[in-house]
Amino acid sequence: MLDAEFFRRWMTVTAASVDREAERLTALDSPIGDADHGTNLQRGFTAVRAALEKEPPATPGAVLTLSGRLLISSVGGASGPLYGTLLRRTGKALGAATEVSREQLAEALRTGVDAVRQLGGAAPGDKTMIDALVPAADALGDSFAAARAAAEEGAVATTPLRARKGRASYLGERSIGHQDPGATSSALLIAGLADASGPTGAAEAADE
C-alpha cells in the first residue's frame, strides 16, 4: 500500500529529476516551443518540494492536490494548468484515503489524464504529453517499471510525429523530427513514480 510519505517521495524525486534535466527539456522546447519548458517546470517543482517539506499533507490525495495547485500558480505557459490539472484530478480521485494500492493509483491517474485530455483537447498521436501519459497509466496496473518504460517509449515515439496541438502545431511539417518536451517531462514524472517505489520498483524492473 502507498501512503502519503510515498507520494511526497514521488514529488521530491521528480523535482530532483526536473532539476537535472531542465536544460535538456528547454533544449527540446527551443525548436518547437518557447524555449522555457525546463525552467518553468523547475520553478514549479521547486515550489512543490519546499511546500511539502514545510507542511507535509497527511494523505496521498492531499499531496497531489497541493502539488497540482502549486504548479498551476507557479509554472508559466500551458504546462502549469496541464500538470496542475493532472495532479489535482488524480489527487481528488484518490479521495481522503490514508493508503492506496497501485491499482487504485492507476485508476486515479487515468482520471487525471482524461482531465488533461479534456483541457488541452489532445489525443494520442498529437505529439503532446498525452503520448507518454496514456500508455503509462495503462501500464501502471501491471507494475511501476512497466509504467516507466511505457512513458519513455511514448515520449521517444513523438519524434517522427507532426504536432497537432499546442505551440508546436503552428510549425506544421517542421515539428517532425523533434521529441516533444511535454511528453519527455511526463516521462520524468512517471520515472519518479517508479523510483519512489524503491526496492519494489527495482524488483519489478529486474523481473521484466
Domain boundary assignment for the chain = 2-200
Distance CA 21, CA 185 (A): 9
This prediction has a pTM of 0.91
Q: What is the pLDDT of residue 204?
A: 35
Q: What are phi and psi of 158, to 5 degrees?
A: -75, -15
Local structure of residue 106 (DSSP, 8 states): H
Q: Are 98 and 3 in contact (CB under 8 A)?
A: yes
Q: What is the pLDDT of residue 206?
A: 32
Residues of the chain with pLDDT under 50: 200-208
What's the one-letter identity of residue 38? G
What residues contact residue 206 under an 8 Å CB cut-off, 6+ apart?
none
Residues 2-200, CATH architecture = Alpha Horseshoe (1.25)
For 117-163, the pLDDT digits (tens) are 999 899 999 999 999 999 999 999 999 999 999 999 999 999 999 88
Nearest Cα residue to 79 out of 158, 193, 189, 160: 189
What's the one-letter identity of residue 99? E
Cell of 173: 511539417
Q: What is the pLDDT of residue 208?
A: 30
Q: What is the pLDDT of residue 31?
A: 84
